[in-house]
Amino acid sequence: MAGAASQVAAVTALNLRNIRERLTSSIVALVGIAGVVTVLIGVLSIGEGFRAVLDQAGAADVAIVLRGGATDEMGSNLSQEQTRLVADSPQIRRDADGAISSPELYVVVDVPMRTTGTAANVPLRGVSPNASKLREGFRIVSGQNFMPGTFEVIVGRGAARQFAGLEVGNTLRWGTTEWRVAGIFADRGSVAESEIWTDATVLQGAYNRGSSYQSMRVRLNDAGAMQAFKDSLTADPRLNVRVFSEKQYYEEQSRTLTQLVRTIGTAIAVLMGLGAVFAALNTMYSAVAARTREIATLRALGFGSGPVIVSVLAEALLLGLVGGLIGMLVSYFAFNGMQASTMNFASFSQITFAFTVTPALLTQALVYALLLGLIGGLLPSLRAARLPITTGLREL
């Protein structure tokens, strides 16, 4: 065992020392693998960023109530009487102002993108005065909150960055109404930052919604009260509702886009990976061809085929490792934190997010880079091990 290990170490060290003789082909393989890793991380960081935005908005002790059968706010409708019945639930936390709940509705308005000037769908959400108590990270970062009963709005920080004309003091026309931007708010980078808020009663009147709402958010006494709250509402014959924890609701919303991005990203990575593998194959075949005499001499001196295979694979894995690390660094500094927006298929409106490069994503990409190197070195290593000694010695 010790002899085999020493042979592996000796042949591998010799092989790695000679990499500079194959510098051009090695650089081609490195660039190919680094490019695959960069693209893979870049695409998958879209899904991670989208999921992170929705996860930030999900609290275990906040419930969302929708109409029975509805899977999202767009397909939901609640009457004012139903929201009053929900607010009477004993599982809802109360303060000096009463139950911490917010009946809400929204419409989609057109706002031009800053980068292209094309119109995009942005949610204009009507909320109650308790809305800020249901978002723990809520704070006004510029201007002031909207005044209830007026045509004033506050804009999420993410929306203000991505869409034009949403600066404090500006007036915008949506529908038949002119709305004034009173302030900009933040909420820890959550999905709320992609929205525009106003007084729910004012929004009902402006868009002829009567006294109806689409959803109701409530803060429970604690996360453990969720099941009792859900059971009490679903058992009430006066109500026909579905109850989600806020965390569950946003996890379900993020699943579709995250899976789509992962599927597309994996497909792109596989296609680009084929090119990287061919580059690695070319490099390693060149390495084996250049070392024909050296390999034959080692075999004649008693070195086994195993150390030869390991030495070629070690070089290929080193190319994969270095290429992967380069791709990881490029993608992290190029993509992490980059602001963007995409369509939220649950609401058919834009949602702003930041590309998020996570440690798990970097690890996944590095493993893929090593796999590309391993595949690229496998066939050349077998060829080197099977090379007849007499054929190699004739090269002398």
What is the per-residue pLDDT across 293-302, written as a single tens digit (0 to 9) for each?
666 666 665 6
| Both tokens assigned to 189 | 């980078």
> Dihedral (C-alpha) 21, 23, 29, 35: value to the nearest 10 degrees?
160
Burial 327-345, CB ≥16 within 10 A → b, else e: bbebbbeebbeeebbbebe
124 near 203, Cβ under 8 Å? yes
Q: What pLDDT does residue 300 have?
A: 64
d(CA 119, CA 143): 25
Taking alpha carbons only, the member of 25, 33, 28, 27 closest to residue 330 is 33
Q: Which of 355, 359, 328, 342 is nearest to 49 (CA)?
A: 355
**Closest C-alpha among 41, 43, 136 to residue 367:** 41
Class of residue 371 by CB neighbours under 10 A (exposed 0-12, middle 13-18, buried 19+): middle
Beta-carbon contacts of 234 under 8 Å, excluding residues fewer than 6 positions away, are: 241, 243
The rounded distance, in Å, linking the Cα atoms of 147 and 140 is 13
Cα–Cα distance measured from residue 346 to residue 74, given in angstroms and rounded to the nearest whole number = 8
Say if pTM beats, i.e. exceeds, 0.85.
no
- The CA distances from residue 42 to 166, 265, 272, 328, 373, in Å, are 29, 9, 13, 10, 20
Spans of the chain below 50 pLDDT = 1-2, 392-393, 396
**83 by DSSP, 3-state: which?**
helix
pLDDT at 215: 93
